[in-house]
Chains A and B, each alone.
Chain A
Amino acid sequence: DTAVSQTPKYLVTQMGNDKSIKCEQNLGHDTMYWYKQDSKKFLKIMFSYNNKELIINETVPNRFSPKSPDKAHLNLHINSLELGDSAVYFCASSLRRTYEQYFGPGTRLTVT
């Protein structure tokens, strides 16, 4: 069974388009995260939800909007995509009290 899954794995799109990435976890965790990993492999937190409540909202363009319909799902919608949005986006989940993160396989976003 896949613990944290993301779709799609690869996403190639043109500037100005709107796209969504979906994430699901079956670990029973109460907290989910979106990270961005750039070409230098630095992992940057974007958002975090605990029991569907937004608890971390880092300085991210408001073109990025997360949505958590329930504890097991966290989606990321990106409007008006820009070249600089190209990166690998990781979803992760954890129990809030342990911080121990379980990552999905990542979504490689390429904006042309």
Chain B
Amino acid sequence: TQLLEQSPQFLSIQEGENLTVYCNSSSVFSSLQWYRQEPGEGPVLLVTVVTGGEVKKLKRLTFQFGDARKDSSLHITAAQPGDTGLYLCAGAESNYQLIWGAGTKLIIKP
């Protein structure tokens, strides 16, 4: 079974700062997804990256899939309080199962 390590586990920063969350594995995934979960709700899909080296942008959020498709990063520019939440990465295995990271709890202070 593949493992997906997510770092940092917890991040608390001031509004306006930049941050990066990492998702790493020793194995290759066919695709990787990022989700955001707010308290009391289910995770919501933000993006799926498929091609090695792929970069996708969602407003102030930039997602990158590593060239070897083993790792991914999420960069947030000028973080806002509305970005607060639990960020989860999930890699797709060949048997149609997602392998989930443990999550990064992000708090953006006004």
| Chain A interface (Cβ < 8 Å from any Cβ of B) | 4, 31, 40-45, 48, 50, 55-56, 90, 92, 96, 98-106
Task: Please tell me if the beta carbons of A100 and B88 are within 8 angstroms of each other in the complex.
Answer: no
Q: Does the CB pair A100–B97 fall under 8 Å?
A: no
Q: How many residues of B contact A (CB 8 A)?
A: 22
Chain B positions within 8 Å of A, measured between CB atoms, are 31, 33, 35, 37, 40-45, 48, 86, 88, 90, 92, 96-98, 100, 102-103, 105
The majority secondary structure among interface residues of chain B is strand
Is the contact region of chain A dominated by helix, strand, or loop, or is it mixed?
strand
Q: What are the residues of chain A within 8 A of B41 when measuring CB–CB?
A: 105-106
Q: Are A92 and B33 in contact (CB under 8 A)?
A: no
Question: Distance (Å) between the CB of B54 and the closest chain A CB?
Answer: 15
